[in-house]
Amino acid sequence: MSTRENHNGICKNVPNLISSFVDAFVDYSFSGIFSPHHPTPLNDTPQTRFEKPDRLVAIGDLHGDLEKSKEAFRIAGLIDSSDRWTGGSTVVVQVGDVLDRGGDELKILFFLERLKREAEREGGKVVTMNGNHEIMNVEGDFRFVTKEGLEEFRVWSDWYSLGNKMKSLCHGLDKVKDLYEGIPMSFPRAREECFEGMRARIAALRPEGPIAKRFLSKNQTVAVVGDSVFVHGGLLAEHVEYGLERMNEEVTSWINGFRGGRYAPGYCRGGNSVVWLRKFSDERPHRCDCAALEHALSTIPGVKRMIMGHTIQEAGINGVCGDKAIRIDVGMSKGCSDGLPEVLEIRKDSGVRIVTSNPLYKENPNSQLVPESKTGLGLLVPVEHVTKQVEVKA
């Protein structure tokens, strides 16, 4: 083979192979996970609607607590003791708020990315969503970031920058963009020891940032799975009228840096936005706007319930408005209320139940059960009742 043939044949792929090797090296060095990169085209919009699966599991806010996140997956039988996917064809929806309040934010993102690959191979699916804290961080709002969270991003940026330096030594690769381009060295309202972590976090999560593009741009902002619609805060009829697919497309475009500007679209900002709304998640049932909920649901064909996170439910997962609003944020992260992990399970053949790690139910699972209702979800209990029927897999 001539030198020219070799250059145009095998050797022309060497730079890309080296780049992939460096990416895998950086990922493993930081997270302990080998993550083969299969970049999603930047104009690819996350899927909005999914067929009703035989088994659907919904998981609430995780907020930077890796161990509690794994426990939630484990009690639902989705991972084994080695954290490998065992959920088969189960579809999982995690309703957002991986970021803030804890120090394992990136590790959770890597963990979920790996589970997505493993689930796909088994015919399952892991759907991840944007919560208000994802939106805030892409906008550069770090009010709920912890010291440990800043340090995690600083360590990641060191490895990422090392990988970029390695790539710069390889002829044939495009010039690597400066990770910190346009980011100031200091911040007037922050302590000096936070500067490096803040710079790393901005670089990673701003629109078109490497972490934002790789992970958050693939999140749904709204998802319909069978007869359930998932959203972090809540949906109003005006949001549905605007378009569910349209919102997913525009948020993805903004995170990828295509829409320009620092701030998210208007339906992701403010108290009535899809990631901030609390009209259906107040723990006091009489303050939940059931009329607005029913109006919104009536505008989505085939959907009979809305499942949301965002507002911590001290009584655990519960339903209001005739179980048409299911609230699944139990504050499990140690950065929130350190609640016991619970997940919602919906099966085609047996309806809805709550899976909990609460040891009280393990000791006597039939001690505080309430009668099943004749219609609707049945196994869910309105929030005014603390006790609820559960399936125990501690």
- Which residues are known catalytic residues? 133
Residues near 389 by beta carbon (within 8 Å), at least 6 away in sequence = 353, 354, 369, 370, 372, 379, 381
DSSP string computed for 232-282: SS---HHHHHH-HHHHHHHHHHHHTT-S-SSSPPGGGSSTTSTTT--TTT-
Name the β-bridge partners of 325: 306, 320
Amino acid letter, residue 359: P
Sequence-separated (6 or more) residues with CB below 8 Å from residue 237: 292, 295, 296, 299
Q: Which residues contact 142 (CB under 8 A, 6 or more apart)?
A: 136, 198, 201
Report which of 275, 154, 274 is spatially closest to residue 211, judged by C-alpha positions: 154
User: Can you tell me the distance from the alpha carbon of 104 to that of 247, in angstroms, rounded to the nearest whole number?
Assistant: 28
Q: How far apart are CA 322 and CA 381, in angstroms?
A: 10
Which stretches of 32-146 are DSSP H helices? 66-75, 105-121, 132-139
The answer to whether the beta carbons of residues 377 and 319 sit under 8 Å apart is yes
DSSP state letters, 284-335: SGGGS-HHHHHHHHHTSTT--EEEE-SS--TT-SEEETTTTEEE-----STT
Tokens of 329: 């944020």
